[in-house]
Amino acid sequence: MKKKVRIIFAIFLLMLGIAFVFSSTYIFSKRDKKEKIKYKQEVFKMSEIENHEINNQFDFLLKKYHHHNIIAFLDIPGVLKEAEPIVQAKDNDYYLSHNLEGKKDINGATFLDYRNNVFTDNKILIYGHSNSELSLPLSVIARYADGAFFEDNKVIYLYTKEKIYVFTAFSSYVETDDFDYINLKNYNGLTWVEHLEKFKNKSEYKVNVPLKENKKVIILQTCSQEKKYKDYKRKYRLLFGIEE
């Protein structure tokens, strides 16, 4: 009787062992399959990014939109959630109250100064609304008041049909009464570098970024939502970047 019980117990242990082997194989096989799928997805994303880098970024990004009035895309990696489409009108009023689709919208759109030609002008002026209650794209430049954030997020990209411009941020502050930065041609007797030094010296956080002749500058402007400027009628948070 005892011998019979031992045999049955041995058979039970054998079956349990076989079941364990099969279940383990299934689990690891399934996990490996998931890992392979995940890997394929990651490879696809990376190849997509590589194509994005090799080919024209403007066309790559334009596929998301169906608007021929987009003239560029602004990207600040790690700051903007995604590349922001830039439009341009015949004046600087239209896109203050119209969105990308041209519909009435108090949040407006992100737009290039109507006087600007991205390819021939030394200054590229881009404007957009800011709102303390809404996550509008250019609201993020207020974060450049923090030195650590500034140091970690200096690179600014502007993708156009013809060229990719790369800028390094060198100044950020709130302007309330001196709007010389919007002058595209007249530097009040200063050289280009002297003109830029004026804005660099106003920066709330000082960075060691050299300014050079014959290099474009991008200037992002939005309304300041900072409390200490609440009594000013005109208060614009600015971010300056010089072409690399």
Structural domain spans, the chain: 1-54, 57-243
Helix (H) or strand (E) holding 152: helix 147-152
127 SS3 class: strand
What Cα–Cα distance (Å) separates residue 176 from each residue in 134, 223, 229?
23, 10, 8
Residue pLDDT, tens place only, 157-215: 999 988 899 999 999 999 999 999 999 988 989 999 999 999 999 999 999 999 999 99
- For residue 136, the model assigns a pLDDT of 83
Q: What are phi and psi of 193, to 5 degrees?
A: -65, -40
Q: Is the pLDDT of residue 30 over 80?
A: no
**Strand 236-243 relative to strand 111-112, pairing:** unpaired
Percent helix, strand and coil across the chain, each rounded to 5?
40, 20, 40
Selected residue with higher pLDDT from 94 and 55: 94
pLDDT, tens digit, for every residue of 212-243? 999 999 999 998 888 888 888 899 999 999 99
CATH 2.40.260.10 fits 57-243, yes or no: yes
Half-sphere exposure of 7 (CA within 13 A, CB side): 4
* Percent of the chain topping pLDDT 70: 74
pLDDT at residue 37, rounded to an integer: 27
DSSP one-letter code for 206: -
What's the whole-model pTM score? 0.75
Lowest-pLDDT choice from 19-33, 97-111, 123-137: 19-33
pLDDT tens per residue, range 43-63: 323 334 344 453 467 777 777
- Return d(Cα 79, Cα 111) in angstroms, integer: 18
Model pLDDT, residue 132 = 67
Residue with tokens 């400027």: 229
C-alpha to C-alpha distances, 45 to 50, 130, 169, 192, nearest whole angstrom: 9, 32, 28, 42
What span, in angstroms and rounded, lies between the C-alpha atoms of 126 and 76?
13
Ranges of beta strands (E only) in 27-99 are: 70-75, 84-87
